Structure 1
Amino acid sequence: MATFFFFLLSFLICFHFSSAEPFIGVNYGQVADNLPPPSATAKLLKSTSIEKVRLYGADPAIIKALANTEIGIVIGAANGDIPSLASDPNSAAQWINSNVLPFYPASKIILITVGNEVLTTNDPNLINQLLPAMQNMQNAINGASLGGKIKVSTVHSMAVLGQSDPPSSGLFSPSYQPALKGLLQFHKDNGSPFAINPYPFFAYQSDSRPETLAFCLFQPNAGRVDSGNGIKYMNMFDAQVDSVHSALSAMGFKDVEIMVAETGWPYSGDSNEVGPSIENAKAYNGNLIAHLKSMVGTPLMPGKSVDTYLFALYDEDLKPGPGSERAFGLYKSDLSMTYDVGISKSSQVSELIYSFEPKKKL
């Protein structure tokens, strides 16, 4: 019996990790002066079920440290790079030569984001240069024979939506629609995702009723009925993602894939901030992960989980703004967990052993 149990447990553990969740990633920001070395971070990531990491830049030390880990890597070109990328195809080719070719394929680079929340900078020059920059980056990837292997996108704030409630009425703001039309055609033509940053935390800050907190944290609540289609939503994350889906559909691009580039909840904040706490952060991230693992999807996109990158791997102690901005980390700089959301392989193995261990009769 003991031998059978051992083999059953071994099989279950192997199956559990061979069927890891490829749709769960994490953001690895570097606005800090106390981060562990990239090699330590690579080792940490390998001890978790996280399969993808999003960088805001293209730090060669980090990209190199993630070589041969099979962890997917998203790298980024900064907003300041956009003018040169847009005006000179050689600049894009050089960017690929410097930031991709020395590391790929040992380092599994899967996506390049050109700029971050460019449209909501409301800088007309930068906005007009975004699509040409993405096109030149895509052409440079094609020129390096990596077309289809590495995608190109850009990341948007939820503020690109002019209307989001109820989710079925989601629309992009008219002022952003001209730029978005070209960008969405680019995504459709190249099979790349539309990346968005939904934060139920910010929704709760603007509506801090107890029932709203439960709705944001995936906790038991009465739900909210979409007056447009009668669908009842049980959490804010699904409502926000579906409002983006509705906005894409209204523009004629319902088949463009949505990617959640950032979402998270701070575990601490200033005394005047509503919502930050260890309990709330653990509830949001833990319940979000469970929701994604369930593969139930959203009401308008059922049966699959949207690629989602949690914010963030570490706290960033040099970030400006309220205290919450420096308290999103799942891990501390000493590599200890801030709180446990079930992504550590060791905790998952412990759960499996407990679940399948023969219970003694009382």
Structure 2
Amino acid sequence: MASPPSTATYLFFLLLLHAAEVARSQSYVGVNYGIVADNLPPPSASAKLLQSTSFGKVRLYGADPAIIKALANTGIGITIGASNADIPAMAADLNFAKGWISSNVSPYYPASKIILINVGNEVLYYSDENLKTQLLPAMQNLQNALEAASLGGKIKVSTVHPMSVLGQSEPPSAGRFDPKYVDLLKGLLDFNKATGSPFMINPYPFFAYQSDPRPDTLAFCLFQPNAGRPDSGTNIKYMNMFDAQVDAVKSALNAMAYPDVEIVVAETGWAYQGGPNENGATIENAKAYNGNLVAHLRSMVGTPLMPGKSIDTYLFALYDEDLKAGATSEKYFGIYKTDLTSIYDIGVSKSSQGPLATAPAPALTPPADAPATGGATTLPTNSSTTTPTTTTTTAPNSTIPQNSPTARVNASKNAGSLNIIDINFVVVIFLVVASML
């Protein structure tokens, strides 16, 4: 009869499980890799840069073969996109969808770890009603094409929505989808639920800040100390706008009876430079927002309505894009320069601070540049253009700012403390196991 496992064995397995969870948490942090620029480094250099960070995922706006190939065998999850211009043909013809998979996925998978395909970007933002009704059939045909290629259970299909799909967002518990989108969203959410794919959204506290003149709004947006904002529906005090915006989406999903559909943040970020009317676009604020967001995600505290888990979040963006149209800030969302050095440090470099490094502590005093009442209401283009397989380039996709800041959250735990606990836990267990072997 085999002897029962020793205490040392149990502790060893506990250590492995904990280490796996810590490693898993890093995959929650991804980055957008836009290419609307004429000065970007080669994809091979970008792949090495990404490997030097703790970014576990990268989102492309198209299906650039050079980038997809460069990311082969890196272990980095890749989200790719079919352009808005591809949607009509993809909706009308299953063979077009099969050809798209044959050209953009099959030659690279699984060496290139493609995990998700977005059909279009912020389609519901645009005025093209035909495109909106073609979105779901296009997604269904692409899903069928994946299944025909024996990839149906391995790669998900979704689309990315602007925050303007919410008709109400404040307080977060009252979050509801705009009635004009409900019928379209019901079909899309049925698809998400049936296939296990995420509902993808673009919350930008940076843009909400432009239209919210309250004195504490900047600190609230940057995860800095503030008085918090109570949700009258739940009595939860929200301490940052990111959680409030995400929870508003969660409330809207719950209200439509889709509580189990996962939310993924496809884009969020903060411009470090902008025009004279773009309040808060500074390097200090960009560093504070992105760095504190990374720390918040690593803490695994979650949001008040989704505690104990981090929302998969793609920061915008890897590089500046000097050819972007729109407001001045559109060109200045990059975290890295094109010479591969960081514009500001958000604690994701493996070499300098390690994969569990916490974000640098921002200044606690918000800059005194709060917008005047009725501040800027620009509709910036926060997503890169995508290039369809026909080589037709679509117009830049846009993200509309949140009409209302919805902001409010449970105080996020200090990620630095949690990461120290993680490391101490591993060390203690290792020493205990070693002493018992």
TM norm structure 1: 0.92
Residue in structure 2 matched with residue 247 of structure 1 by the alignment: 252
Do the aligned residues in 1 keep the contact of 2:221 with 2:289 (CA within 8 Å)? yes
1:286 maps to 2:305: no
What amino acid sits opposite 2:211 in the alignment?
Answer: S
Question: 4+ residue stretches of structure 1 with deviation over 3 A?
Answer: 15-20, 349-352
Change (3 A) 1:351 1:84: closer
Equivalent positions of 1:147-226 (< 5 A) are: 147-226=152-231
Residue in structure 1 matched with residue 351 of structure 2 by the alignment: 346
Residue in structure 1 matched with residue 315 of structure 2 by the alignment: 310
Residue in structure 1 matched with residue 417 of structure 2 by the alignment: none
2:111 corresponds, among 100, 106, 109, to 106
1:148, 1:256 → 2: CA distance?
17
What SS is found at the alignment partner of 1:181? helix
Do the aligned residues in 1 keep the contact of 2:272 with 2:286 (CA within 8 Å)? yes
- In structure 1, runs of 5+ residues without a counterpart are 1-10, 357-362
Note the alpha carbon deviations across 1:24-76, whole angstroms, 9 max, x for none.
Answer: 10000000000000000000000000010000000000000000000000000
Residue in structure 2 matched with residue 259 of structure 1 by the alignment: 264
Residue in structure 2 matched with residue 359 of structure 1 by the alignment: none
What SS is found at the alignment partner of 1:176? helix
Residue in structure 2 matched with residue 92 of structure 1 by the alignment: 97
1:266, 1:108 → 2: CA distance?
29
2:356, 2:58 → 1: CA distance?
25
Give the aligned CA root-mean-square deviation in angstroms: 1.9
2:94, 2:181 → 1: CA distance?
26
1:60 corresponds, among 65, 75, 81, to 65
What amino acid sits opposite 1:244 in the alignment?
Answer: V
What amino acid sits opposite 1:241 in the alignment?
Answer: V
- In structure 2, runs of 5+ residues without a counterpart are 1-14, 358-419, 424-437
2:86 corresponds, among 81, 88, 110, to 81
Note the alpha carbon deviations across 1:98-144, whole angstroms, 9 max, x for none.
Answer: 00000000000000000000011131100000000000000000111
Note the alpha carbon deviations across 1:7-29, whole angstroms, 9 max, x for none.
Answer: xxxx9xxx698556011100000
Identity across matched positions, percent = 72
What amino acid sits opposite 1:87 in the alignment?
Answer: A
Residue in structure 2 matched with residue 237 of structure 1 by the alignment: 242
What amino acid sits opposite 1:189 in the alignment?
Answer: A
Tell me by how many angstroms 1:210 deviates.
3.2
Do the aligned residues in 1 keep the contact of 2:25 with 2:300 (CA within 8 Å)? no
Do the aligned residues in 2 keep the contact of 1:208 with 1:274 (CA within 8 Å)? no
1:275, 1:336 → 2: CA distance?
23
Q: Which has the higher contact order (CA 8 A, sep 6+)?
A: 2
What SS is found at the alignment partner of 1:113? strand
1:343, 1:150 → 2: CA distance?
26
Change (3 A) 1:250 1:19: closer
Do the aligned residues in 1 keep the contact of 2:54 with 2:355 (CA within 8 Å)? no
1:351, 1:231 → 2: CA distance?
29
Change (3 A) 1:85 1:19: closer
1:155, 1:22 → 2: CA distance?
19
What amino acid sits opposite 1:106 in the alignment?
Answer: A
1:231, 1:177 → 2: CA distance?
27
1:57, 1:259 → 2: CA distance?
18
What amino acid sits opposite 1:171 in the alignment?
Answer: R
Q: How many residues are paired up?
A: 343
